[in-house]
Amino acid sequence: MQRRPRKLLDQVREAIRLKHYSIRTEESYVSLERKYRNADRE
């Protein structure tokens, strides 16, 4: 059974948690990443 690659936002969350950032910082980074990806599609 092959393992599926992790989604980008999951990778961002994991990296932030490894650095012991606050949950609000994590939410902000993920929100910014979503906005960037949506703007890039347009």
pLDDT tens track for 11-39: 999 999 999 999 999 999 999 998 998 88
Site of tokens 């059974």: 1
Q: For the chain, how far is it from start to end, CA to CA, in angstroms?
A: 36
> Does the residue 1 lie in any domain?
no
> Does the residue 19 lie in any domain?
yes
Q: Which domain holds residue 15?
A: 8-41
pTM of the model: 0.70
> Does the residue 3 lie in any domain?
no
> Does the residue 20 lie in any domain?
yes
- The per-residue pLDDT for 24 is 96
> Does the residue 31 lie in any domain?
yes
User: How many independent structural domains does the chain possess?
Assistant: 1
Q: Using alpha carbons, select from 11, 13, 6 the residue that is nearest to residue 28.
A: 13
